[in-house]
Structure 1
């Protein structure tokens, strides 16, 4: 693998793009998933780690469970997982990963293509469920990309790389359309009340944990908010707020060396003991134990 894993401030290793494993050293790879494939010979993939490149996995078998940014996703045959640079993730030691995996180094595509394909839209869902026509189009584009990637004899390197960029762009445009459509569908299904609540929580979770305060802010009753959130997510507004707070706390514990008390303050708990109690109630481990598990 090109480069060495970097130990992050929070103890999580970051692995660079394995350019030495690419055919002709180009900034992408595409091939079959399997137990023999890894980012790095020393990387236990069932441990939490980061990568500084894009990964797209198209599954032929399943279910497969995969953690991205502390959320567990379950992928089935025909599903795709899109992991973006810097996201924390972990492979499942009990799942068999079968299908096709695409990796891409940041900077391999021109800026216009990056913007058109939404490569850094971290708000888009990582797990995608294409319908049959969409899946056929994605498979066709990915198969073509793989043929071009493996064909090293018919073109000089400069043209080979240019063709790869065009083929990769075609696949990513299809993928980005699917991701954006899935995101828009989720927003419509959630309804405007929940969408407004979700956006308000995203802006205010670090200081506001009160369901009633959010209802007042949105100009609706607490009962209306409860119905909207339950219809969209199956959970209560309080549970939704708590999950967002816990996610941010986990990120700070993982990414930084902030003392536990400072992490608590950052997510709305001036008292360290109250933060530790809250965190343990929702995760069954203390903040210090959670951080230690990642190191």
Structure 2
């Protein structure tokens, strides 16, 4: 079995070169480009930290886990650790960038914590109101990051980062305000977090909600209720999304035959895998692989 984490895709460590020696750093895209070549940014690579980027001017393209999208002023991008990213900024594109380690943020509820899950959305185009609201928080973060530390600076940064993450959560909830979701509870939070850990362990071997419920010692209905409450979707959709993500990664970054990828992901027949992948990604595995090869060509 090919382990995605072991693939020869460069991993960028968290190593801020300016500001405080804490788990959060800020920079502009222009400053990063001065230190990292455009060729490196355009090639597939991974970060071992979180990066939130708010485009302030210019245009370009970005890709997260083989999902390309355009960037323009007001585009907000959240790259999570170990996601495969590529960046194609045009000459005059710039952005405010917040980088932070997995351990830096304050502890939040499972629903808010779900924002940093690789199965969730990675980019948004902010409205004028959303941009103005989020930009105020970014400006406060920047001022505090530049301020000489008086002994309380790290705690202030943690709380301001929490405000930024809560703003993103609020934006996502308002955009889906017509979606009915069960009420949040500590019980749903805890069950959902256990499910996500179990899903990362077991998605190669089963796609059945009943199997995950049995592993978690709960009923399928209770598991689905927790997923609806926290992630606003079904347990089955999350399972299939995790399998599809791994399939995209293996198709894009390995030369494994499609039949071998199908077996690795628990499909007994390549044709069944092809139907599953086409339903989730809207193209066949072979067409997806060809599109990725074409996109990587200079």
Deviations 1:53-73, CA, capped at 9 Å, x for gaps = 111111122432100110111
Structure 2 partner of 1:168: 161
Match of 1:72 in 2: 68
How much does 1:185 deviate? 6.0
Deviations 1:124-173 (A, max 9, x none): 32121222222111111110110000011xx42x3111111122212221
TM-score by length of 1: 0.62
Conserved? CA contact 1:207–1:268, under 8 Å: no
Offset at residue 250 of structure 1 (A): 2.8
3-state SS, counterpart of residue 90 of structure 1 = strand
Unpaired segments ≥5 residues, structure 1 = 1-6, 189-203, 209-242
After the TM superposition, list the runs of 4 or more consecutive aligned residues in structure 1 that deviate by more than 4 angstroms: 38-43, 93-96, 185-188, 243-248, 253-260
User: What is the TM-score with the length of structure 2 in the denominator?
Assistant: 0.61
Alignment size in residue pairs: 227
Distance 1:249 1:142 in 2: 35
Distance of 1:12 and 1:186 partners within structure 2: 40
Give the match for residue 131 of structure 1: 127
Paired residues for 1:167-206 under 5 Å = 167-182=160-175, 184=176
- Give 2:236's aligned residue: none
Conserved 8 A contact 1:38-1:45 = no
Are the structure 2 counterparts of residues 282 and 170 from structure 1 closer, same or farther at C-alpha, using a change threshold of 3 Å?
closer
Residue 57 of structure 2 aligns to a residue whose secondary structure is: coil
Listed as ranges, the matches of 1:34-49 within 5 Å are: 34=30, 36-37=32-33, 44-49=40-45
Is the aligned partner of 1:13 residue 2:10? Answer: yes
Secondary structure in 2 matching 1:133: helix
State the match for 1:212 in structure 2.
none
2:23 corresponds to which residue? 27
Call closer, same or farther: CA 1:22–1:126 in 2, change over 3 Å: same
Distance apart, 1:259 and its partner CA: 6.2
How many angstroms does 1:77 deviate by?
1.1
Contact 1:8 1:255 in 2 (8 A): no
**1:108 offset after TM fit, Å?**
0.7
| Structure with bigger gyration radius | 1
- The equivalences for 1:173-252 within 5 A come to 173-182=166-175, 184=176, 248-252=246-250
State the Cα distance separating 1:16 from its structure 2 match: 1.8
Tell me what 1:221 maps to. Answer: none
Task: Give the Cα separation in 2 of the matches to 1:14 and 1:39.
Answer: 16
- 1:263 is matched with which residue? 261
